[in-house]
Amino acid sequence: MAEYIFRRLMKSLLTVFISIMLTFLIIRLMPADPVSLMVDPKLSPEVQEQMRKNFGLDKPIYTQFGIYLLNLLKGDLGYSFKTREPVITVLMQRLPWTILLMFTTLIMSLAIGLPVGITAAKRRNKLFDRVVNVLITLAISIFIPFISFAFLYLFGYRLGLLPTGGAYTPPPTQGFAYVLDVARHSVLPTITLFLGNSATVILYSRNSMIDVLKEDYIRTAFAKGWDDRYVTRKHALKNALIPTVTVTGLMIGSMMGGAIMTETIYAWPGVGRLIYDSVNAMDYPVLQGAFLMLSITVVAMNFITDLVVAKIDPRIRLSGGRA
C-alpha cells in the first residue's frame, strides 16, 4: 500500500507542476495587454511601460515563470492587478461560497442518486427503470445556461418565490435569518448543478450494480437462501460502488471548474464567478491562482479516489503497485 501511495503521489505532483506551467504560458500568451485595461489610454507610453515593469511584465516569459515558481514555493501568489489585494486573500473570500455550493450538490446527488440507481438496476427493464433512463438522458442533455435562465424566469420572475441572483440580500442579516437567506439564494444554483451530477451518479451506480448482480458469487448467495436486501448490502453494494466512487471524485473536480457558468448566471460570488471576472479584467495573478486551486483540487480528489478504490478493491492496489 505504501508503494502504491508513493507512486500515486509522485504522479499527482507531476500533474500539478505541468498544469502550473501550462496555465502560466496560456495566460501569458493571451493577445490582450492587462496594462491597457488598467490605465487611461491617454497616459504616456512611459507611464504604461513603468507599470509593466512594476508588475514584472517587461521580462521574458521564462524569467517571469521562474519568479512565479519561487514566489509560489514561498506561498506568495502575487497581487491582483484589479484590486491590488493579495491573490490568496481574494481566493479565500470566494472559496467558501464555491465549497458550500459544491458539497450541497454532492450530498444531494449521492443521497438521491445512489438509491435510485441501485433500485433501477434491481428493477431492470421495468417501468421504474425505463422512467429513470429517460430522466437521466434529459438531465445529462440539458444545457446549463438554458435551464438556469428557465429557472430564473419561472421561480424568480414569474412566481417570485426565489431570489434571482447573489448569495444573500444586502445588507446581510445576522444569525439564523442570515442562514435562511443564504439557503434561499442557493436553491436555484444548487438544483442546476444537481440535475447533471445526480444523473451521472444514477447512471454509474445503475450500470455497475447490473454488472455485479450477474456475478456467480451473487447467484451463490441467493442460492444459500439469503434475502435480497442482505445480498445487496453485504455482497453487491461494495463492488458496485467502485465506479461510482471514481466518478464522484472526478465530479468534485469538475464542479469546482464547471460551476463557472452557473455561478456567473446566478451571480454567485464563488471561484467560478471570480474566474469569469478575472478574464474580463485580464487579471493574470488571480487567474493563475484560481487555476492553480482548481488543478490542485482535481489532482487531490483523483488521488483520494484512487486510495478509496484501492481500499475497496485490493486487486487495484496490487496491480497499481507493480505498474
3-state secondary structure of 135: helix
pLDDT for 322 = 43
* Inside any domain, residue 80: no
Alpha helices in the chain (DSSP H): 2-28, 34-38, 45-54, 61-73, 87-122, 127-141, 144-151, 175-213, 216-223, 228-231, 237-265, 271-281, 284-312, 314-322
Provide the domain limits for residue 288.
Answer: 90-303
Q: C-alpha 59: how far from its chain's center?
A: 34
pTM comes to 0.76
Number of domains in the chain: 1
Residue carrying C-alpha cell 439564523: 176
* Inside any domain, residue 62: no
* Inside any domain, residue 36: no
Q: How far apart are CA 12 and CA 237, in angstroms?
A: 29
User: Per the structure block, which three cell numbers stand in for 39?
Assistant: 490605465
* Inside any domain, residue 55: no
Residue 3 burial (10 A CB sphere; 0-12, 13-18, 19+): exposed
Residue 322 burial (10 A CB sphere; 0-12, 13-18, 19+): exposed
Q: How far apart are CA 120 and CA 122, in angstroms?
A: 5
Q: How far apart are CA 50 and CA 52, in angstroms?
A: 5
Q: From residue 241, give the alpha-carbon distance in Å to each of 2, 71, 206, 281.
A: 23, 41, 10, 43
3-state secondary structure of 79: strand
pLDDT for 243 = 82
* Inside any domain, residue 203: yes
* Inside any domain, residue 175: yes
Q: Check which CATH number belongs to the domain holding 137 and give it.
A: 1.10.3720.10
* Inside any domain, residue 53: no
User: Per the structure block, which three cell numbers stand in for 187?
Assistant: 436553491
Tens of pLDDT along the chain (323 residues) come to: 677 677 777 888 888 888 888 877 776 676 655 555 555 556 566 666 666 666 666 677 778 788 778 888 887 787 887 788 888 888 898 888 888 888 899 899 989 998 999 889 888 889 998 999 999 988 888 888 888 889 988 888 888 888 888 888 887 778 888 889 899 999 999 998 898 888 989 988 888 888 888 888 888 888 877 877 778 777 788 778 888 888 887 777 777 665 788 888 888 888 888 888 888 777 778 888 888 888 888 888 878 877 777 777 666 655 554 43
* Inside any domain, residue 160: yes
3-state secondary structure of 294: helix
Return the biggest CA–CA distance within the chain: 87
